[in-house]
Structure 1
Amino acid sequence: MKINLYFFLILILITSTAAFSPLVDEDEELIETFKQINDEVLANSRAYETLGDACKTIGHRLTGSPNGKKAEEYTYNLLKSYGFKDVKYQPFQVEAWSRDTVTLSIAPRKSDNFQDVEVVSLAMTPVEAKVTAELVDVGNGLEPDFQAVKEQLPGKIALVNLGLLAPFKGTRNLHRSEKTALAMQYGAAGVIFVNTVKGNVLLTGTASVTGSLIAIPAVCVSLESGIRIRSWMSEQANLMGVIDMKNFSKMIKARNVIATIKGDNKKYRDEKIVIGGHLDSWDLATGALDNGIGSFSILDIARAFKALNLKSKRTIEFVMFMGEEEGLLGSKAMIERSKKNNSLEKVAFMFNLDMANNANGFNTSGREEMVALFTKIGEYMKKASPEYKNNVINQAGLHSDHQSFMLEGIPTASPIGGISPDAVGCYHANCDRFDLINKNEMVNTVRYTAMMLYGIANVDKIPAKKLDYYSTRDFFIKQNLRKELELGREWKWGTEE
């Protein structure tokens, strides 16, 4: 009886270990490869330098602009210089938007004593609009805030915080486009967003949940201007605002840039790992933070793979997406093309690097079944680089290119780390320039993401499978993301429960 129990316990141990660690037979080889990646990137990384050169020679990377085209060509040629023979453009149509002029003036009703307020247009706002209307304070712009003023808001201009001022614990903020969608739903004639970052910082970004032009003007003022406006509103009833804007919009072509390393294992090569980040940026500065640090880290991961001549069981595609800022247009175009040529089923996993910086772990984006694998691979990474923290979280979110893949049921992950508060304050702003960037932090993102990418591309089995139509619906409901997808007109399951 004791002997049978002994062998039973040994069998359980072997089974559980194999289930937890599909790489168990290749530990030493994997750790040795991780050491090679770590040493190569520490010695030869070019992520920081190429980002600095692009910021200097190109500037911003607005989709549809001459600068955007230069950025596409810059990265294409860079990947070629790293030894990639299979580099291609993936063109798609985009409704390009660019700003012209905008003013915001405020005065009491029946007064001509208007005061100008420094302001910037949000993207995808009308080609031409002039709205004169009373201001209504909608606070943080969550649905309960709009509900509280629903009788006053029709035909008025909504004053809304971009972030959450004095937030309650656990409160989830909405994207600016979702707040704009709510404002239109409740009948607002315009939106004035108040930035929540100190220092007279102006922020831009899309106000459209669909990627198409919206019907009402949406603008952003600084935190300091917002405080002054609200103070004036408390002293003077029926304060009026005048938003006057002109913009440009036309259909143009943009291009994703894709480089491929084909899998070298017959059993796995038809499975594809996509590692992507958006190359485009807004035009107020150079977009070094958003998303230079992510996209140029991917380019350097690609460089390191070529420099080490790394082979993987699965095919790896390195993708520079354009059009993310206007509404995930590049990743949506890639998904649609993959559906048409019946290659979407080959995508087994997607890594997204959007403002990824100083990586010390990964977010498995709501797919619980990936946590053990990421943790185990992270333990091997620590043997190659003991300072790696191996933090693994499991929280799904939207509003970057991984969303396009999640909507098809494809599992995704992103590096997690940290960005200094000074740099975070320049997100989408007129101060998003190269001097915000820390070289060592970019190097950390490159070496740790390269290791994890290699690990996932070579694992015997990826635990998280592509979800079917209804399982994908259930996933988003469980992650409490249904309302956000409905506001973004991305909820494709109707009223089904």
Structure 2
Amino acid sequence: MKYFLVVALFLAMPIQAQQQDQKQIQEIYEEALSNGKGYTWLNYLSNQIGARLSGSIQAEKAVSYTKSILDSLGLDKVWLQPVKVPKWVRGIPEFAYLESSAGFTNNVPVRALGGSVATPMGGIKANVIEVRGIEELKALGTTKIQGKIVFFNKPMDPTILNTMDAYAAAVDQRYSGATEASKYGAIGVIVRSLNLRLDDFPHTGAMSYGDTPFEKRIPAAAISTNGAELLSTSLKLNPDIKFFFRQHCKTLPDVDSFNVIGEIKGSTYPDEILVVGAHLDSWDLGDGSHDNGAGSVQSMEVLRLLKATGYTPKRTIRVVLFMNEENGLRGGATYASESRKGNENHIFALESDSGGFTPRGFTFESNQGNFEQLLGWKKLFEPYMVHLFEQGLSGADIGPLKNDNIVLAGLRPDSQRYFDHHHSENDTFQHINKRELELGAAAMASLVYLFDTYGTVASSN
């Protein structure tokens, strides 16, 4: 009789655990949707502080503000981690036009790419050569490119349903276009904005000159998708048109900044650390609400939700707001370096950096054992329509933590509208949906709860 009682008890344990998980996750969602704070925090971050380019006064204010929020949550520890960051400034607004013949011009919207050098004070004007990607430069050669402005006009592929993949397939022209074009004597580059719709918003973003000597660096700017269509059509009608653009950006010496960190100490396994985070910096256009104010407030909200539902973590749960993801990744690199120096044991890290839209699920970088455990949790998220559990890239800032044992995860919201806003003046608070933002925070908190409860397959506990 005792034997049957023991077997029955053993079989009941998974059912009881599942019921407890369902209850805890339901409480997280109810708290997020009834009393969520992220939208209010984001309202202040976006509308009272604004764009938070690394090294700017606004970035400093964002550090102070988010630290004050974490201080108010009653966490076990809150601190600032020093990070040296680049300081690039845009300067006077850019100006550009097409010139079909002397005196006949059409203005077009452009914005300097992040890290670009300025044009000469009076701007540059030259003939244009259009290419559909970096790979076309070699075929054209110096003879056809020297002394001209290269126009990179490779659109994001609209047939790729995952818009993050479409972006990845086109971003090389923005990041490396100036470096490659300068090898063939180009005097400047204009890059089609990485955006799936036609509008008048130029989309900036990081670019790199690699090891190109300073005196050989050429200015680079993004042109709006409408502007790109106009330029391309005009070139077909008149290959001899000229393009003029002027920008006053420059790079100043590195400055001091900080990652903002807060944690709840684990009650049972305090040396096992779970991180949830996002980058606090943004580009200087718009106010950075989707990229990445949304992820920042969602990450802070995760800790608030766990505390508000009365949950006591077994493991240490840490929120990290990283500085300088957009133009250097210094915050993520510094955090990982300091963690290694302190011999910290991170078993899980979750990043939100894909906007504040409706959550669809998560992507994971993990070994097969951990991924199989994750698939076992998938049913817990199905009532909340968070169905996507796939292996794939997690996030840039948590990437430096990667090793053979840690599980890295990225929140994956619906991505179809994300590039309407990404890196542009159209990334503003008015485009944030409160409920979608809260659903994302709840999904993140639920996943953190499960990893805290069960650990990882690689863990000995």
Specify if TM > 0.5: yes
Aligned to 1:394: 391
**Letter matched to residue 398 of structure 2:** H
| TM-score (norm: length of structure 1) | 0.78
Aligned position for 1:354: 353
1:46 maps to 37
The residue aligned with 1:491 is none
**1:47/1:226 CA distance change after superposition, 3 Å:** same
Give the corresponding residue for 2:4.
Answer: none
Could you tell me how far 1:401 is from its partner in structure 2? 1.8
2:421 corresponds to which of 386, 411, 426: 426
User: Alignment identity in percent?
Assistant: 25
Q: Per the alignment, do residues 407 and 326 of structure 1 end up closer, same or farther by CA in structure 2, a change over 3 Å counting? A: farther
Question: Equivalent of 1:35, from 17, 20, 26?
Answer: 26
The C-alpha deviation readout for 1:424-445, integer Å capped at 9, x for no partner, is: 4122111211111111111111
Q: For 2:209 and 2:266, locate their aligned partners in 1 and report how far apart those are by CA, in whole Å.
A: 37
Scaled by the length of structure 2, what TM-score is found?
0.83
Alignment of 1:129-208 (within 5 A): 129=120, 130-139=123-132, 141=133, 143-151=134-142, 152-161=144-153, 163-164=155-156, 173-175=169-171, 176-184=174-182, 188-195=186-193, 196=195, 197-208=197-208
CA deviation profile, 1:331-388 (whole Å, cap 9, x unmatched): 1121222233343xx1222111002432132111475544322222232344xxx233
Paired residue secondary structure (1:280): coil
Q: In structure 1, which of residues 200, 215, 220 is the aligned counterpart of residue 222 of structure 2?
A: 220
CA contact (8 A) 1:127 1:247 kept: yes
Instruction: Please point out which of 243, 251, 256 is paired with 1:253.
Output: 256
Superposed displacement of residue 69, structure 1: 0.9
Cα gap change, 1:99 to 1:82, in 2 (>3 Å): same
Q: CA deviation at 1:278?
A: 0.8
Relative distance call for 1:96 and 1:278 in structure 2 (3 A) is same
**For 2:283, what is the secondary structure of its paired residue?**
coil
SS at match of 1:339: helix
Q: How does 1:16-415 map to 2 (within 5 A)?
A: 26-101=17-92, 102-107=94-99, 115-127=106-118, 129=120, 130-139=123-132, 141=133, 143-151=134-142, 152-161=144-153, 163-164=155-156, 173-175=169-171, 176-184=174-182, 188-195=186-193, 196=195, 197-208=197-208, 215-250=217-252, 251-265=254-268, 268-343=269-344, 346-356=345-355, 357-365=357-365, 368-382=368-382, 386-396=383-393, 400-406=396-402, 410-415=406-411
For structure 1, the 5+ residue unaligned runs are 1-16, 466-497
Show the counterpart of 1:440. Answer: 435
- Does the C-alpha gap of structure 1 residues 161 and 374 become closer, same or farther in structure 2, counting only changes over 3 Å? farther
Q: 1:406 to 1:131 in 2, by over 3 A?
A: farther
Gaps of 5+ in 2: 1-9
SS in 1 for 2:31: helix
Q: What residue is the counterpart of 1:474 in the other structure?
A: none
Give the distance between the partners of 1:212 and 1:303, measured in 2 at CA.
Answer: 47
CA distance 1:460–1:231, change in 2 (3 Å): closer
- 1:137–1:310 distance in 2 versus 1, CA, 3 Å: same
TM-aligned CA distance change 1:36 to 1:57, over 3 Å: same
CA distance in 1, matches of 2:160, 2:38: 39
Displacement of 1:82 after TM fit?
A: 1.2
Q: Secondary structure at the match of 2:226?
A: helix
Instruction: Tell me the alpha carbon deviations over residues 205-256 of structure 1, each in whole angstroms, 9 at most, x when there is no partner.
Output: 2223879998321111112211221122122234433433212432211111
CA RMSD of aligned residues (A): 3.3
Partner-residue secondary structure (3-state), 1:338: helix
Distance in 2 between residues matched to 1:464 and 1:185, nearest whole Å:
50
Counting matched residue pairs gives 434
Give, in angstroms, the shift of residue 128 of structure 1: 5.4
Q: Kindly provide the CA deviation profile for residues 70-125 of structure 1, in whole angstroms up to 9, marking residues without a partner as x.
A: 1111110011111124111111111111211333344369x575654331111111
